[in-house]
Structures are given as C-alpha cells and as structure tokens.
C-alpha cells in the first residue's frame, strides 16, 4: 500500500478497535449492572440494562459498516485483513454476550426481594469471572496478543467448575427448601447465562488467536464445551 493508504488504514483499524473495545465495555457494564439489579433486586436498573442493549446492537452495525468500507476501499492483505474480518465476527459474538446480560436482567422482576435466597450471594463472583473473560478476550484483540487469547480459553475451565459448584449448591438448596424452587430456578438460569458468556468469550479468544497468528488454536480440549459434564 502507498504510504498515505497505510496511514488511512491505520486510522480505520484504530477506529475499528476502538468500537470493539467500546462494545466490550458496554457488555461488561451490562453484566455488572444486571447482577447488581438481581442482587438488590432493582427492577428499574434491570429495565435500563435491557434498554441499553440497543446501544451494543448499534455499535455492532457500525463495526460491520466500517469493516465493509475498509475491505472495499483499502483492500487490506494478510494479517490486516484477518484483523478486519475478526472484528466483524467478534462484534457478532459480543452482541450475543450483551443478549445474555439482557436475559439476566429480564429475570429481575421475578426475584422476590422480601425473602432473600442465600445462595444468590455466590453469583456475583461467577459474574465477575465471566466478565473478566470478556475483557481479557477483547484486550487480547486490541493488543493482537495470541498468548493472552490462549489464557482466556484456558480460564474457561475454572468458570465451568464454578458453574458446576453453584449448580450443585442451588439444587441442594432447592431440595432442602422446596418452597424456594421457583426462585432458585431463576438463579440457575442466571448461572447458565454466565457460563454461556464464558463460552462466547472463549470463542472470541479463538478468533483473536487466528487473527494474530493465521493458524487455528491447537486442537486441544477446549475450555468451553469439553470440560463440562452438566
């Protein structure tokens, strides 16, 4: 590419990275706020999380537009092209992560604030772990850091173990407190959504790895679907 084209490409790719990073920040916020809304419970905050999801969708659409424009105008090659295509695919996954956060928020109106269910206290730590995976996967993208992407994939096993442990605790609690079953069922759903967020962060990390290296991450026991027995 000519020098001015390289500069224009760098500016474009910088903007693309910025939008992905912004989407990731919004998705993280959505997870955190949905969990806050659940813990209090705060149906108004939950409604705001649901409304804010539209902003994530809007940025995804912008990422698509810019990625298409870069491909059409700049004709990037090799690692640059892989990065643009990865941005487009990653934006689709982050959009989906936002949906899971929204789905957690949708449960909040069903949570009974008067009769607090003790195991609810386990969920925020799991949510932080899932949210950290999202941030680390997107940081890896921003830094083109394949090693960091591998670490994200590896960390999914810990999230799955956390899910298994919460699942057992919640089921035991249901058995011992049968009147709470419908409430605890909502918490099981929340835990499952958090685990899926981790699965999607893993997916992003695999895309980052490919964008950075041009090869698929080794065929190993992937953290996500492989480590789970539930």
Q: Which is nearer to its own copies, 46 or 88 (CB)?
A: 88
Tell me the three state secondary structure of residue 113.
Answer: coil
Can you tell me the distance from the alpha carbon of 195 to that of 216, in angstroms, rounded to the nearest whole number? 23
Least CB distance from residue 125 to its own copies, whole Å? 20
Per DSSP, 77 falls in state: -
Nearer to its own copies, 10 or 57 (CB): 57
d(C-alpha 88, C-alpha 65), whole Å: 9
CA 174 centroid distance within chain: 29
Q: Which residues bind its own copies (CB under 8 A)?
A: 50, 57, 64, 68, 71-72, 75, 81, 85, 88-89, 92, 96, 99-100, 103, 106, 167, 185-186, 188-189, 192-193, 196, 199, 203, 207, 216, 219, 221-222, 225-226, 228-230
Between 140 and 184, name the residue whose CB sits nearer to its own copies: 184
State the Cα–Cα distance between residues 190 and 37, nearest whole angstrom.
12
- Write down the least CB distance from residue 202 to its own copies, Å: 10
Tokens 């224009």 belong to residue: 8
CB of residue 105 to its own copies, shortest distance in Å? 11
Q: 57 or 112: whose CB is closer to its own copies?
A: 57
Distance separating alpha carbons of residues 2 and 185, to the nearest angstrom: 59
């Amino acid at each position: 590419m000519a020098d001015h084209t390289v500069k224009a490409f760098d500016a474009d790719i910088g903007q693309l990275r910025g939008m992905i990073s912004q989407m990731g920040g919004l998705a993280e916020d959505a997870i955190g706020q949905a969990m806050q809304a659940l813990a209090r419970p705060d149906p108004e905050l939950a409604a705001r999380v649901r409304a804010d999801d539209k902003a994530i969708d809007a940025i995804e659409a912008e990422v698509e537009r810019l990625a298409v424009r870069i491909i059409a105008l700049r004709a990037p090659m090799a690692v640059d092209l892989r990065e643009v295509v990865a941005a487009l695919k990653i934006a689709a996954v982050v959009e989906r992560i936002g949906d899971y956060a929204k789905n957690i928020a949708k449960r909040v109106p069903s949570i009974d604030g008067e009769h607090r269910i003790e195991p609810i206290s386990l969920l925020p730590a799991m949510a932080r772990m899932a949210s950290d995976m999202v941030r680390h996967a997107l940081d890896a993208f921003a830094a083109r850091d394949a090693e960091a992407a591998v670490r994200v994939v590896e960390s999914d096993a810990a999230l799955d173990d956390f899910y298994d442990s919460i699942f057992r605790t919640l089921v035991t609690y249901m058995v011992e407190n049968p009147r709470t079953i419908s409430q605890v069922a909502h918490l099981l759903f929340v835990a499952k959504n958090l685990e899926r967020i981790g699965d999607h962060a893993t997916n992003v990390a695999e895309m980052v790895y490919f964008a950075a290296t041009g090869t698929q991450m080794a065929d190993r026991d992937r953290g996500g679907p492989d480590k789970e027995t539930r």
